Amino acid sequence: MHTFSEAEALELDRADPLPSRRDEFWIPPHPGRGRAQAAYLAGNSLGLQPRTVAGDLQAELEDWSRLGVGGHMKAHRPWVSFHEMLREPTARLVGALPRETIAMNSLTVNLHLLMASFYRPTPQRHAIVIEDQAFPSDSYAVRSQAQWHGYDPDQAVIRLSPRPGEDCLRTEDVVGFFQKHGDRVALALLGAVNYYNGEYLDIPQITHAARAAGAVAAWDLAHAVGNVELKLHDWGVDWAAWCTYKYLNSGPGAVAGAFIHDRHLGDQGLDRLSGWFSTDPGTRFQMRPTLDFVPNADAWQVSNPPILAMAPVLSSLRLFDEVGMPALRAKSERLTAYLSAALGHFLDPADASIITPADPASRGSQLSVRLHRTPAEAAADRMRSIDGVISDDRKPDVIRLAAAPLYVTFHDCWRAAMAIAAVAADPNAAA
């Protein structure tokens, strides 16, 4: 049984089988508390900066100053092939073959590039399925794709909602939808871990149901990569895309990633939007007017690697390779379970409730708390300024807490539970 004392939280940190890597990150300060550190539980919005990033960036800047254009071929990490260094660690992270992954662009750009290939609507089958609580950017992207192809997005985009009175989707309802209505669906594009409520959808089961119905099964992994264990190749996912600035800690605007299943890589008849880096690197500098096909994910890469936005990704992936996702996922489950229990202990049900699934297998490292009497934005501001707890709010009434296991501690979770309970109980404290 937990005592939910500060001493217990500190002891849990000392005894945990996976030591924290907190000292390898820059932790924001507690406002007004000198050198004290904040409890940072907003890694599902923007991960913290690894301390190695500055050195990795400085190395590229020095090569640029020393070599100029020569850095493309002669930098210590030649820029022309820089993205290749990210391929294998990315593949290990998402459970893919190296040739199935590519680091490129931003998340929504990658969604559009992949939909250009895999959203091939017909009058009989042109629906796109997303979750009703999808991140707005995904909603904008799929609506614009439907409209681009001449379909009314209000009709073509199907939004799956939880049952009345519930906050999360049920796997059996999603599977049942594809079994009943799948013949209308051209593309399923769901968020693997929902940004709003933290629910982790059953990727293999839903993928199987969508593909059995004849639809393309795609996933937005923005809140899943670096958060949960993934086996995209074995699960048969058609394609996926993700950003790297949340749980992967690669910095604002860092290069995103994409996965295309091996069964599609040799299909030269598949439509693609191509560019300079879509062609065979062996003939790239022969400057041919026509593209030389490559049977890997590079076929979807349009532009040359943005080195200063890729170097932080390299820094981050080293950490994930050193620790490994199984160990990180296990620790995140321990942290999130403790945070859930602490919230249950400190919160009055009249003041707030957790809307994230209680089953550890059905959630990522995030717990979303709905405040019943206090506006979320005011609560988050008070938690940060007074308690030194940095969270993320979603208007009007949800606070999101992410126990990112590389740097969040049990003590951070204890601080967060105490802070949110105090502000939930006293709406005037957040004014």
Give, for all 431 residues of the chain, the pLDDT tens digit: 899 999 999 999 999 999 999 999 999 999 877 679 999 999 999 999 999 999 999 999 999 999 999 999 999 999 999 999 999 999 999 999 999 999 999 999 999 999 999 999 999 999 999 999 999 999 999 999 999 999 999 999 999 999 999 999 999 999 999 999 999 999 999 999 999 999 999 999 999 999 999 999 999 999 999 999 999 999 999 999 999 999 999 999 899 999 999 999 999 999 999 999 999 999 999 999 999 999 999 999 999 999 999 999 999 999 999 999 999 999 999 999 999 999 999 999 999 999 999 999 999 999 999 999 999 999 999 999 999 999 999 999 999 999 999 999 999 999 999 999 999 998 776 55
Cβ neighbours around 265 below 10 Å, total: 19
229 in the same domain as 114: yes
Q: Starting at the edge strand that comes first in sequence, how are the strands of the sheet with 257-260 ordered?
A: 101-103, 257-260, 239-242, 216-220, 185-191, 127-131, 157-160
Q: How many domains does the chain have?
A: 2
Which residue among 321, 339, 358 closes a domain? 321
134 in the same domain as 26: no
Q: Which amino acid is at 139?
A: S
Could you tell me the two tokens for 146? 């439907």
Alpha-carbon gap, residue 197 to 32, rounded angstroms: 31
Q: Residue 367 burial (CB < 10 Å; 0-12/13-18/19+)?
A: buried
Alpha-carbon gap, residue 281 to 283, rounded angstroms: 5
Give the CATH number, domain containing residue 339.
3.90.1150.10
**141 within some domain:** yes
Alpha-carbon gap, residue 60 to 76, rounded angstroms: 8
Say what angle helices 410-425 and 325-346 make with each other, to 10 degrees. Answer: 30
**50 within some domain:** no
Give the CATH number, domain containing residue 184.
3.40.640.10
**89 within some domain:** yes
Q: Residue 305 burial (CB < 10 Å; 0-12/13-18/19+)?
A: buried
Q: What is the pLDDT of residue 429?
A: 66
Alpha-carbon gap, residue 223 to 227, rounded angstroms: 7
pTM, two decimals, is 0.97
In terms of Cα–Cα distance, which of 96, 161, 154 is closest to 131?
161
Task: Give the pairing of strands 185-191 and 127-131.
Answer: parallel
**381 within some domain:** yes
Say what angle helices 307-323 and 53-67 make with each other, to 10 degrees. Answer: 140
73 in the same domain as 222: yes
**1 within some domain:** no
Q: What is the DSSP letter of 245?
A: S
What are the residues whose beta carbons fall under 8 Å from the beta carbon of 286, sequence distance 6 or more? none
86 in the same domain as 215: yes
237 in the same domain as 173: yes
Q: What is the DSSP letter of 388?
A: -
Beta strands in 320-425 (DSSP E): 352-354, 366-371, 389-390, 392-394, 398-402
Domain of residue 24, residue span: 6-37+324-430
Which residue among 321, 354, 386 closes a domain? 321
Evaluate whether 206 touches 237 at the Cβ level (below 8 Å). Answer: no
32 in the same domain as 108: no
Cβ neighbours around 50 below 10 Å, total: 23
Which residue among 321, 356, 391 closes a domain? 321
Alpha-carbon gap, residue 401 to 41, rounded angstroms: 5
230 in the same domain as 219: yes
**64 within some domain:** yes
Q: What is the DSSP annotation of 213-236?
A: TT-EEEEE-TTTTTTS---HHHHT
**193 within some domain:** yes
**285 within some domain:** yes
230 in the same domain as 355: no
18 in the same domain as 85: no
193 in the same domain as 152: yes
Q: What is the DSSP letter of 406?
A: T
373 in the same domain as 347: yes
Beta strands in 230-343 (DSSP E): 239-242, 257-260
Whether a cis peptide bond, with omega within 30° of 0, leads into 326 is no
Say what angle helices 203-212 and 171-181 make with each other, to 10 degrees. Answer: 10
Evaluate whether 392 touches 47 at the Cβ level (below 8 Å). Answer: no
425 in the same domain as 404: yes
Could you tell me the two tokens for 294? 């490559």
Could you tell me the two tokens for 134? 């999808």
Q: What is the pLDDT of residue 427?
A: 77
Alpha-carbon gap, residue 405 to 329, rounded angstroms: 8
Q: What is the pLDDT of residue 174?
A: 98
